[in-house]
Every structure is written in C-alpha cells, then in structure tokens.
C-alpha cells in the first residue's frame, strides 16, 4: 500500500491509464490540485475533492485515504481484531451445516442491555481497540439471547442485537471496511424489524447514509437520509426524541449534499436542523448520537470546511455553545474541523493547537482517523523548526509517511 494520499492517488491513476489532466477533467477539479496531491505538496484534501477523485477512478474514497497505519498488518492481511469482528458479523453458523454457535447459556436480556450500554460508552470515547475486542462476544451473546429467551422477551433481545450490529457497522466503517459494515447494517435492520423499538430503523438509515458517504455513494447517502426525514417529519407537538431523530437525518443529508457540491441544498437542510434543535432547546443523546443546538452548530462548521469556506467555519465555531456536552469523538471531530480551517488559512500555530485539543479529547480516535493523520503530516512538512509540537504529535500518531 502506497504511503501517502498522493502516492495512492498516483498509483490508482496510472492503473486506470489516465494522465493527470484526464483525471482532473473526469473529477471536475483543477490539474493543479491533482499535481499538488501526487507530488506530496499537499497531504490532505476536502472530502468533496476526495469523493470526486474516487468517482473518477472508480474506487471507494477509503482506498485513497488508506487503512489506519496502526492497524495495518505487515503480511498484508487484516489485523486479527478486525478479522474477528468480520467473523462475528458473518459467522459460519449463518450457513446451515457449516458451523454452530457456541452452546453457552446467554445472559438475561437486562444484563445484555447493560453490557451494550457499557460498549456504547467506550465507543463514544473513541476507544476502538476495546470495541473490536468486545463486539464479537456481544454479538454472539445477543444472537444466543434471541434464540433462547422467553417469547415475550424476544423483541427486546432483537433490539439489543440490532444496536450491536449497528455499532459493528460504524466501527467497521471507521476502519475503512465499508463492505463488512454494509453487511452488519443489513443484519441490524433485519433485527430492528423484529424488535420492540420502532426508532431503530431510523437510526439505521442514518448509519446507512454515513456508510454510503464513506463509500463515495454521495447521491445515495443524501437520498436515503432525506427520504427517511420526509417520512418521519415531526409536527408542532412532536416529542423531543422525534425532533432529534429527524434532525440527525437532516444533518446526514446535509453532509452528503455538501460533498456532492450542492451547497444550497445543504444549507437548506442545515437550516431545518437548526430549527429542530431550537425547538428542542437543549442537547440530547439518543442511540449514542447527539443532537441539539451544539451538534447542529458543529455540523454547520463541518459543512463550511468542506465547502472551502474556512473563515465562515471559524466564525461560526466561535459562537457554538455547550461544546462540553458533546461525546468525546464528536468534540474531537470538531477540533479537527477547526484545525483544517486554520490550516487552509495558513494559521499553522492555531491549527496545531486545535489538533492537540483533539488528541487530548480522544487520543485513540486520533490515531485511527485518516484525515487527522494526513493533516498532521501536512503541517509537519510546513514546520521549519527541528523540534516542535506538530512534529511531536506526528511521532505520537506515527504519521511519518
């Protein structure tokens, strides 16, 4: 696997038999952008740019970003923890006559739900190594509970199974394994249909939109989020949970619209999400996903960064209230957006401070997040001093490619 984004871009371009000019034309980008990336004069790019390049090269966006270096196996195979998660999502027991689930007495449904909540807390902190260790057992226990629990408890067991598969889908997506994530989400939706919680389908569609975005299927990502939002559009007297789930879908749709270059549509969706957040009036955390005035504001900052409007992003960021209410991974992502905006304005010292804030907030998430590593690599390359905070951060993240 090529070491940098530019190396991977050049390698894929050559495989497709394209010149830099031809690739730029297919992606509707400037040749200068392609050249700077391939020459490693830039180590990062907006997601809308990466998605355009991926579509032009007929590949997934994650192929350009590459796998997290700290998980890469020297033999070229998947790391054992990711392979174990794949096996947990698609066990041999799913194929009659080829394998059996362990015949271990399952935990009670209440205990199973407690285990899931603990797992969710770990995920919100961005401790991905722990999640990959815990999820296989949680999935096996949830399947066993569905098989063995009393009939009246089965819908509740299916609800836990649906959420466990959904966490597996988001974890696999974070590791760039969107194919396995899609399978996990299909199984989540099947379990949700048999559960006692009608909201699980909505949060599943939100996750589906995110997976499509990571795959570069931007139009599909926007379509599924907006269609579900239209289906569940709340009324004047709707409960805060209904408003929050609607708002979460609107933010997913806005993210996709930005990356498709449809800024007007994105701003319309963000405006609706802002109105929903204002109606709620406070930040909430439902199904491990925050929504309220704070997260709506953070999403707007992310949109401005992707639109290439770093000044507007930073102006808006300064007005967001209650950032400490966000889960660590959401807050770290916001710090990364701020860092990206500062870097685009050549305010490298402030970009570095924002990256250090992200590291303090969710250190393991930072190590596995491709965009943070690329930005650190770029800033380190622009740093003239022999020793500096950004060079120390690059060493800690092993972003030395």
CA distances from 174 to 41, 280, 318 (A): 26, 30, 28
Q: What is the DSSP string of 99-142?
A: ------PPPPHHHHHHHHHHHHHHHHTT-HHHHHHHHHHHHHHH
Nearest to 53 by CA among 61, 62, 43: 61
User: Which stretches of the chain score pLDDT less than 50?
Assistant: 1, 70, 73-74
Q: Is residue 291 a contact partner of residue 319, using CB atoms and an 8 Å limit?
A: no
Tokens of 245: 């789930």
Question: What is the rounded CA–CA span in Å between residue 330 and residue 326?
Answer: 6
Burial label, 294 (beta-carbon count in 10 A; 0-12, 13-18, 19+): buried
CA distances from 161 to 58, 88, 89, 213 (A): 34, 12, 11, 24
Question: What is the rounded CA–CA span in Å between residue 350 and residue 289?
Answer: 28
DSSP element (H, E) containing 289: strand 289-291
- The pLDDT assigned to 74 comes to 46
What confidence tens digit (pLDDT) does each residue in 233-288 have? Answer: 998 789 999 999 999 999 999 999 999 989 999 999 999 999 999 999 999 999 98
Question: What is the rounded CA–CA span in Å between residue 190 and residue 91?
Answer: 16
- The pLDDT assigned to 124 comes to 85
Sketch the domain layout of the chain as residue ranges: 1-66, 327-401
- The pLDDT assigned to 81 comes to 74
The arrangement of secondary structure in 1-66, i.e. its CATH architecture, is Orthogonal Bundle (1.10)
CA distances from 137 to 81, 89, 106, 200, 232 (A): 12, 11, 11, 21, 34
- Please write down the HEC assignment for all residues of 303-355: HHHHCCCHHHHHHHHCCCCCHHHCCHHHHHHHHHHHHHHHHHCCCHHHHHHHH
Nearest to 109 by CA among 64, 152, 165, 52: 152
- Count other Cβ atoms within 10 Å, centred on residue 76: 7
Number of H helices, E strands in the chain: 21, 2
- The pLDDT assigned to 302 comes to 95
Tokens of 214: 């990571």
For 257, list phi and psi in degrees, rounded to 5: -65, -40
């Amino acid at each position: 696997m090529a070491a940098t984004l530019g190396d991977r871009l050049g390698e894929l371009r050559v495989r497709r038999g394209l010149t830099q000019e031809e690739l730029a034309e297919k992606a509707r980008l400037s040749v200068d952008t392609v050249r700077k990336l391939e020459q490693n004069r830039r180590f990062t790019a907006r997601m809308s740019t990466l998605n355009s390049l991926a579509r032009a090269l007929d590949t997934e966006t994650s192929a350009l970003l590459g796998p997290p270096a700290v998980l890469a196996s020297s033999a070229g195979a998947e790391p054992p923890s990711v392979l174990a998660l794949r096996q947990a999502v698609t066990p041999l027991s799913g194929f009659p006559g080829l394998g059996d689930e362990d015949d271990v007495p399952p935990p009670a449904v209440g205990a199973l739900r407690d285990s899931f909540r603990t797992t969710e807390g770990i995920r919100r902190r961005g401790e991905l190594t722990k999640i990959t260790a815990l999820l296989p057992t949680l999935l096996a226990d949830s399947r066993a509970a569905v098989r063995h629990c009393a009939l009246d408890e089965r819908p509740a067991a299916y609800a836990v199974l649906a959420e466990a598969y959904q966490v597996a889908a988001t974890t696999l997506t974070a590791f760039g394994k969107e194919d396995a994530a899609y399978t996990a989400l299909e199984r989540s939706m099947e379990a949700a249909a048999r559960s006692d919680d009608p909201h699980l389908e909505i949060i599943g569609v939100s996750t589906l939109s995110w997976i499509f975005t990571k795959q570069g299927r931007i139009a599909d990502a926007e379509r599924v989020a907006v269609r579900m939002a239209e289906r569940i559009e709340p009324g004047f007297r709707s409960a805060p949970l209904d408003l929050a789930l609607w708002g979460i879908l609107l933010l997913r749709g806005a993210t996709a619209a930005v990356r498709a270059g449809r800024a007007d549509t994105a701003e319309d969706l963000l405006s609706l999400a802002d109105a929903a957040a204002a109606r709620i009036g406070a930040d909430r955390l439902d199904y491990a996903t925050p929504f309220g005035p704070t997260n709506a504001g953070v999403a707007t900052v992310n949109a401005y960064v992707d639109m290439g409007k770093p000044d507007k992003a930073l102006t808006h960021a300064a007005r967001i209230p209650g950032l400490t209410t966000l889960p660590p991974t959401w807050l770290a992502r916001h710090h990364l957006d701020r860092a990206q905006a500062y870097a685009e304005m050549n305010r490298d010292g402030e970009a570095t401070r924002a990256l250090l804030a992200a590291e303090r907030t969710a250190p393991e998430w930072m190590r596995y997040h491709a965009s943070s590593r690329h930005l650190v690599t770029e800033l380190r390359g622009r740093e003239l001093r022999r020793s500096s905070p950004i060079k120390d951060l690059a060493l800690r993240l092993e972003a030395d490619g």
